[in-house]
Chain A
């Protein structure tokens, strides 16, 4: 379970990226966070893994408040959340195999297990033949798959994918979304931050729409009703916040 309660993020330059954000994500859900560039989608991801601290509010993951957590306390959190970064963050001088294995090494998986897991995940994401190639030798779609493979290799509880189809063509984007659905069906809570909502069948998914750092739509099943405002005012349909 992920809970954002009245989360505000103001950057040192004074930009208010998120404003009084309230939402919660139930375990096992597939959540789509949509919004234009600069609406705060990436910031949500960074807050979720403790890369940023909110200016106000609280964030809890699996019942633990992560606001103000020390660096060492963020380590188990980050291992719990797989992240597909918008810029992939694939290490350039390591092969696809090594990049995926690295995440398993970070999570202290035994060496003999690492090989099996990497081979398996490469099959799942559909790039087994690219395992010895370096990032510079991969296409955008392959890089995205490699990034996805690295994020899910450790079988995290939650997967946050930031613009997973950002620079991809329609066909590849659909394939990536299908892959994310597959991962979700396997039990992982998947959070996708994207501006490319055309490819998604949003009707069946938990959809949070952002505009200028405020929630303009949240279709969580627990909401009494989903509210969409024309003027993009911060009119979230969350239940009354418990103090």
Chain B
């Protein structure tokens, strides 16, 4: 290890270049991990909450509503379908306005929003977004579902949001994988070139060691260790910057995703990618240094 640290100390700029390139790669990977996890959480959120809401005409009976639920669950793939009465709708409204005094006042003090003015509804959770069409089709045929003045059935379903989100998640993953692959290759090549240069500059010393009876493992171990140190330093720096970036973006993210993801992200959760980064950096540095060493041994 002493030899390894001496090697790094002797050529600080080469070490800096290797660490910076590795840090950049691992920073991007760390951001990618955060984005992937967040997009998955958002997607899960939309996939698991009631996705289709059909508002019912006033004057229906509970039995009619149950019949409609029954036909939906038997004819389509649903996870859940339930009736929301006017009173339940008011409770949901109250919960959704939270502590907003103006909106809450409209219910409690002013009495502007009452159960009477809210429609009862049927909330359906599909098994997958591709089942939306069949569920909506059943609901559209029902006379129980209210109609807008334009003659359209009052059915809300975020098909486009989920589809869009799925496409974005997929695009982020593909773009991330391409970017990470390109940066990983750059890191591997950079470390490999640096280690190759070091091996070449110490060719005489390596030759002497071999003449003294040193095994290849003994001769080349410091170079393997050196690249591992670059990887370790790169992963810690890369993760640190990504964590700072996450903290910096927290107010912005909390504003937009606060009802889906808990902000600030707990430190231990944010720390999790570091383990992945360390393992990945070791793989990168091992490949690059092993490649450099192999090239030397073949000569």
Contacts and interface: CB of A to CB of B under 8 A. Distances in A.
Given A91-B205, A91-B208, A76 B213 contact: yes
Nearest to A105: B218
A106 B6 contact: no
A49 B211 CA distance: 7
A75 interface: yes
A189 interface: no
Nearest to A156: B213
A69 to B, nearest CB: 13
Contacts of B10: 93
Say whether chain A's binding surface is mostly helix, strand, loop, or mixed.
Answer: helix
A106 B218 contact: yes
A79 interface: yes
A75 B211 contact: no
A103 B6 contact: no
Contact of B215 (A75, A77, A103): A75
Most-contacted residue by chain B among A51, A79, A89 (CB, 10 A): A89
A107 B205 CA distance: 16
B102 interface: no
A215 to B, nearest CB: 25
Contacts of B214: 75, 106
Interface residues of B, number: 14
Interface in B189-237: 204-205, 208-216, 218
A179 interface: no
Interface in A96-139: 102-103, 105-107
Nearest to A75: B213
A76 B208 CA distance: 15
A91 B209 CA distance: 9
A72 B208 CA distance: 16
B211 A89 contact: yes
A75 B211 CA distance: 8
A78 interface: yes
B209 A102 contact: yes
A83 interface: yes
A84 B204 CA distance: 16
Contacts of B205: 91
Contacts of B213: 74-79, 106-107
B208 A78 contact: no
A79 B215 CA distance: 11
Interface of A: 49, 51, 71-72, 74-79, 83, 85, 89, 91, 93, 102-103, 105-107, 150
